[in-house]
Amino acid sequence: MRILVVEDEPALRAQLVQAIAGAGHAVDQAADGQQAHYLGEVEAFDAVVLDLGLPLLDGLSVLRRWRASGHNMPVLILTARSSWQEKVAGIDAGADDYLAKPFHMEELLARLRALLRRASEHASAQWQCGPIWLDTRQARVLVDGQPLTLTSHEFMLLTQLMQRKGQVLTRSELSEHLYPGGSERDSNTIEVFVGRLRKKLPAGSIETLRGLGYRLVDPDAGPAADERQAFKPGS
């Protein structure tokens, strides 16, 4: 696999390159946003590790430009621990995952492996689960072809459920994408956001597995689903 590492801090960039290359990947690197944007436009990468705080062109701008150009390679963004707003903005801009600094290199490699495993499923910018369509490039959601208005937190939560549709996500896993590391987390907050999202999605879309967590499913799976005329955004 070919990975692009974008990080302006030389020591951390060298550590990332060494670790990812040690995991068996070919690694390209960029030290600023302009160089990163250029490489992403002219080269084919299987995944990108992208710092948001870059000189010349910030990481969010780089990501938005890639997505606007139709480049859908998985992107793992690196954010400052104290800035949860960056996490929200990154996911809304089309990021596939995030990791707060400081981090353990083993966790970064694990998240990168997960992105690569999912790459074939999410090669397109448009993800589907039954009547629900999520466009990662334009940060919009459609249900049966009708636009759905979500808050940034609701969109972020749905993004995580869509990424791993059919799989159970614990409250802790979901909360990691809503709050900065080390902050106080209200155990009821995830239930509140799930409840709000349920009211906007077709009935039965989000299942609760008592004591485990939540999962997104196609509520029309089964014989009735065959009778549904598939809607594709832009068609």
Convert 127-153 to b/e letters by CB count within 10 Å (16 or more is b): bbbbbbbbbbbebbbbbeeeebebeeb
206-209 and 146-148 beta bridge pairing:
unpaired
| Whether pLDDT at 205 is above 80 | yes
Q: What is the distance between the terminal CA atoms of the chain, rounded to a whole angstrom?
A: 33
Strand order in the sheet with 146-148: 126-129, 132-135, 140-143, 146-148
For residue 178, the model assigns a pLDDT of: 58
Closest CA to 132 of 113, 146, 118: 146
Q: What is the per-residue pLDDT across 154-186, written as a single tens digit (0 to 9) for each?
A: 887 887 788 778 889 888 777 765 553 334 455
CA distances from 62 to 138, 144, 149, 154, 183 (A): 15, 32, 26, 24, 28
3-state secondary structure of 69: coil
Under DSSP, the state recorded for 169 is B
Higher pLDDT, residue 147 or 172 = 147
Confidence of residue 187 (pLDDT cuts 50, 70, 90): low
Output phi, psi for 10, to 5 deg.
-55, -45
Query: Given this model, what pLDDT does residue 148 score?
Result: 94
pLDDT band at 143 (very low <50, low <70, confident <90, very high): very high
Residue 190 tokens read as 């995830």
Q: Where do the domains of the chain lie, and which CATH numbers do they carry? A: 2-118 (3.40.50.2300), 126-227 (1.10.10.10)
